[in-house]
Structure 1
Amino acid sequence: MENLINDLTTVNPQDGQILSVVGDTYRLVITGEQTGGAYAAIDMLIPPKGGPGPHAHANFQESFYVLEGEIVVKTKTQSFVARKGSFVNIPKGGVVHNFKNETDTIAHLWCVVVPAGLEKFFQEIGTPVAAGTFLPPPIMDQAAQQRMQEIARKYGQEVFPPDYLD
Structure 2
Amino acid sequence: MKSGIEIIEKDKGQILGVAGGNYRIIVPGDKTDNKYAVIEMIVPPGGGPPPHSHPDTHETFYVLEGEVEFQTEQGKSIVSAGGFITIPLGGAIHCFTNTSSTVAKLLCTVMPAGLEKVFELVGVPVGSGEFAPIPELTDERRELMAQIDKQFGQKTYPKGYLD
TM-score, normalised by the number of residues in structure 2: 0.95
Tell me, in whole angstroms, the C-alpha distance in 2 between the residues paired with 1:143 and 1:14: 33
Q: Secondary structure of 1:149's partner? A: helix
Q: Secondary structure of 1:38's partner? A: coil
Aligned pair partner of 1:25 in 7, 22, 25: 22
Aligned twin of 1:146: 143
Once the two structures are overlaid, the 10-residue window that deviates more, 50-59 or 132-141, is 132-141
Aligned twin of 2:162: 165
What is the deviation of 1:152?
2.2
Task: List per-residue Cα deviations over 1:88-147 (Å, max 9, x = no partner).
Answer: 001110011110000111100000001100000101111011012101100013432232
Aligned twin of 1:107: 104
1:42-57 correspondence to structure 2 within 5 Å: 42-57=39-54
Tell me, in whole angstroms, the C-alpha distance in 2 between the residues paired with 1:142 and 1:48: 26
The residue type paired with residue 42 of structure 1 is I
The residue type paired with residue 66 of structure 2 is G
Q: Secondary structure of 1:145's partner? A: helix
1:69 and 2:66 correspond: yes
Once the two structures are overlaid, the 10-residue window that deviates more, 80-89 or 153-162, is 153-162
Aligned pair partner of 1:155 in 127, 152, 155: 152
The residue type paired with residue 55 of structure 1 is H
Tell me, in whole angstroms, the C-alpha distance in 2 between the residues paired with 1:90 and 1:160: 17
Task: Give the count of matched residue pairs.
Answer: 163
The residue type paired with residue 151 of structure 2 is K
The residue type paired with residue 80 of structure 2 is R
CA RMSD of aligned residues (A): 1.2
What is the deviation of 1:156?
2.0
Kindly report structure 1 stretches of 4+ aligned residues shifted beyond 6 Å. Answer: none
Tell me, in whole angstroms, the C-alpha distance in 2 between the residues paired with 1:98 and 1:31: 22
Tell me, in whole angstroms, the C-alpha distance in 2 between the residues paired with 1:10 and 1:46: 24
What is the deviation of 1:5?
5.4
Tell me, in whole angstroms, the C-alpha distance in 1 between the residues paired with 2:150 and 2:22: 22
1:79 and 2:89 correspond: no
Tell me, in whole angstroms, the C-alpha distance in 1 between the residues paired with 2:143 and 2:161: 16
Aligned pair partner of 2:118 in 108, 117, 121: 121
Give unpaired runs (5+ residues) of structure 2. none
